[in-house]
């Protein structure tokens, strides 16, 4: 198992890391060791991942999509969890939140930072990136690079022919319902998540060896390896890097405020379709605004096919809580969710977006997730009030 350089993490924590572009240096790609970082290493590493592993920049445009400051007084806000009445500050402290922002339309009603972060801090998104990859696949359909989500995966990735992916469609991969076996256990060093290569030919060879455990479309099975396959499929379809496509289709024209960076599987390699876009909290929120607008730019240009976000957030036959790399929360609300608490909560009917950077003590956990949902649901109700 590969490991990040401890010295590099300590240098980043002290703010002494060199500003050189990470992709130009011989860094190691992320490994499963990141799942066991101590709390200080989490904060230092999530904030400086582009100085610790190879990335490719995603440049901002000249005009930022306006987020209008309209901050409310949240001192009287309360939410309940486990028979306790808690405040915004309680949530930030107990859930190790590095930043939370809440929008009603384009108005910023709440924006707080902690753990040394501020509005300029980029943060590792983990699986929030999956939802971005889903939108880019929609953009590729709109552009004609991909004909349909019902195309077969092997039509774009012939190296997977002769495997359990032979009859799997893009739609089924987006729904985590390929039927191909995969173990996503974050605590098991023998799981597929821990052992699988991140990308390139080695990833295809690994995925080719996985068994078919269900008919395509019949069973939900969360697989980050398969989302990296989706990233490779998108790259093959557009004939370009995902960072370039994201920059061209969304980041620049929609008006992201800051540059982002996307982690690569190796130096000068390929972006991970399932992980690790590094962006500021405000630009997390702008991703949510782009989704609410169904992929339409401020100038009226349509980037995603009409109705793509409705299609993406329709329950799949295999899982009523999942769409095309979006978690479905009921009542039309959906979210991009990454381990350790990364979140973009979107309620399009009430025009609400809430985004969070976090450093949970565990990758996932029932009580952590329940606490997050209790806070977000109560906050959304408060945001919806006039």
From the list 217, 209, 213, 206, the residue with the least C-alpha distance to 173 is: 217
Quick: pLDDT tens for 26-38: 556 566 678 889 9
Mean pLDDT for all residues in the chain = 91
Quick: pLDDT tens for 304-353: 999 999 999 999 999 999 999 999 999 999 999 999 999 999 999 999 99
d(CA 193, CA 371): 26
Per-residue burial over 303-332, b = 16 or more CB atoms within 10 Å of its CB, e = otherwise? bbbeebbebbbeebebbeebbbbbbbbeee
Contact by Cβ (8 Å): 136, 249: yes
- Residue 199 has what pLDDT? 73
Look at strands 68-69 and 107-113 and give their pairing.
parallel
- Residue 21 has what pLDDT? 44
Quick: pLDDT tens for 206-242: 999 999 999 999 999 999 889 999 999 999 999 999 9
Burial class (CB in 10 A: 0-12, 13-18, 19+), 97: buried
d(CA 168, CA 198): 21
Question: Would you call 12 helix, strand, or coil by DSSP?
Answer: helix
Contact by Cβ (8 Å): 200, 208: no
Strands (E), 2-77: 55-58, 68-69
- Residue 29 has what pLDDT? 59
Percent of the chain predicted with pLDDT > 70: 92
Tokens at 186, concatenated: 């974050």
- Residue 3 has what pLDDT? 32
- Residue 30 has what pLDDT? 61
Q: What is the CA radius of gyration of the chain?
A: 20
Cα separations in angstroms, 157 against 34, 163, 234, 382:
29, 11, 10, 47
Quick: pLDDT tens for 8-22: 322 233 232 333 344
Determine the CATH number of domain 6-65+111-384: 3.40.710.10
155 half-sphere exposure, CB direction, 13 A CA radius: 13
207 Cβ contact partners less than 8 Å away, ≥ 6 residues apart:
160, 163, 165, 180, 196, 225, 226, 229
From the list 186, 157, 137, the residue with the least C-alpha distance to 32 is: 186
- Residue 386 has what pLDDT? 84
154 Cβ contact partners less than 8 Å away, ≥ 6 residues apart:
160, 161, 165, 166, 168
Three-state helix/strand/coil letters over 128-192? HHHHHHHHHHHHHHHHCCCCCCCCEHHHCCHHHCCCCCCCCEHHHHHCCCCCECCCCCCCCCCCH
């Amino acid at each position: 198992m590969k490991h990040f350089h401890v010295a590099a993490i300590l240098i980043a924590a002290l703010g002494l890391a060199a500003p050189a572009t990470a992709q130009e240096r011989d860094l190691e790609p992320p490994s499963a060791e990141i799942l066991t970082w101590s709390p200080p290493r989490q904060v230092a590493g999530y904030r400086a991942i582009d100085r610790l592993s190879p990335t490719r920049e995603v440049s901002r445009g000249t005009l930022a999509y306006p987020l209008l400051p309209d901050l409310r007084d949240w001192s009287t806000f309360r939410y309940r969890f486990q028979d306790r009445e808690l405040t915004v500050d309680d949530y930030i402290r107990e859930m190790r939140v590095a930043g939370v922002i809440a929008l009603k339309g384009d108005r910023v009603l709440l924006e707080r930072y902690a753990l040394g972060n501020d509005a300029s801090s980029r943060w590792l998104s983990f699986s929030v990136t999956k939802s971005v990859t889903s939108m880019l696949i929609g953009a590729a359909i709109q552009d004609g690079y991909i004909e349909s989500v019902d195309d077969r995966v092997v039509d774009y990735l012939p190296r997977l022919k002769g495997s359990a992916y032979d009859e799997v469609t893009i739609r089924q991969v987006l729904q985590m319902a390929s039927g191909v076996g995969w173990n996503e256990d974050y605590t098991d060093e023998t799981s597929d998540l821990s052992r699988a290569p991140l990308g390139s030919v080695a990833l295809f060879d690994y995925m080719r060896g996985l068994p078919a455990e269900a008919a395509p479309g019949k069973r939900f099975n969360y697989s980050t390896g398969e989302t990296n396959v989706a990233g490779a499929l998108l790259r093959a379809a557009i004939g370009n890097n995902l960072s370039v496509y994201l920059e061209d289709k969304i980041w620049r024209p929609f008006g992201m405020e800051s540059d982002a960076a996307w982690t690569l599987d190796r130096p000068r390699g390929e972006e991970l379709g399932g992980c690790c876009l590094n962006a500021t909290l405000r630009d997390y929120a702008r991703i949510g605004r782009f989704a609410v607008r169904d992929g339409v730019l401020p100038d009226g240009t349509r980037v995603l096919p009409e109705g793509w976000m409705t299609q993406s957030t329709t329950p799949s036959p295999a899982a009523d809580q999942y769409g095309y790399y979006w978690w479905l929360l009921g009542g039309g609300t959906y979210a991009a969710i990454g381990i350790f608490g990364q979140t973009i909560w979107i309620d399009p009917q009430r025009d609400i977006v809430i985004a969070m950077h976090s450093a949970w003590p565990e990758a996932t956990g029932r009580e952590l997730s329940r606490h997050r949902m209790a806070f977000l649901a109560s906050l959304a109700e408060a945001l919806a009030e006039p």
